Amino acid sequence: MSPPEILARPEGAAIAGWQQLTIELSDPGAGLRHVLVVLDETGWAISANDSVLYRTELPDGDGEDPRPAVRWEHESVGGRLERDGGFLGTRWLTITVTDPDSDDEEDVRRREATPSPPSDVDVAAIKALVAEVRRRAGL
């Protein structure tokens, strides 16, 4: 639910009654996985996002710099769920290579972000995750 100070604004009325449900489905060794579902005031899941973050140490560097590095791979599929069963969204793959002992944005050696249309398998997986999030929330 949105905080009262947001709902008190005129533009806040548009989201009154909406809920944001999140679950973590991380699996040791398989990455950090987070699922987000937004429900409107009627309980309809209007949007969903499945996001997984993987971390891999590259002891010999990343090919461009021989010093040790860390490769972060972030995969996500998210978008809008239509009442007619359709899904309007995007799949993203973002790869970032950083120095191993720094979280500073300036220490990023390389970043590539690639969008693509979600596959039928992606859409089926998102819909199944929405059902699982709703089940866990008792909806």
**Residue-wise pLDDT tens digits, 26-66:** 777 778 888 999 988 888 888 999 999 888 887 776 667 77
Whole-angstrom Cα distance, residue 93 to residue 55?
14
* Mean pLDDT value of segment 70-80: 90
Q: Which of 2-11, 25-34, 89-98, 127-136 has the lowest mean pLDDT?
A: 2-11
Question: Residue 36, Cβ neighbours under 10 Å: how many?
Answer: 17
Q: What is the pLDDT of residue 47?
A: 92
Whole-angstrom Cα distance, residue 107 to residue 96?
10
Do the beta carbons of residue 78 and residue 89 sit within 8 Å? yes
Q: Is the pLDDT of residue 11 over 70?
A: no
Q: What is the pLDDT of residue 76?
A: 94
Q: Is the pLDDT of residue 2 over 60?
A: no
Do the beta carbons of residue 106 and residue 114 sit within 8 Å? no
Across all residues in the chain, what is the average pLDDT?
A: 82
H or E segment at 69? strand 69-81
Whole-angstrom Cα distance, residue 42 to residue 91?
27
Query: For the chain, how are helix, strand and coil distributed in percent, rounded to 5?
Result: 20, 45, 30
Do the beta carbons of residue 56 and residue 68 sit within 8 Å? no
* Mean pLDDT value of segment 80-96: 92
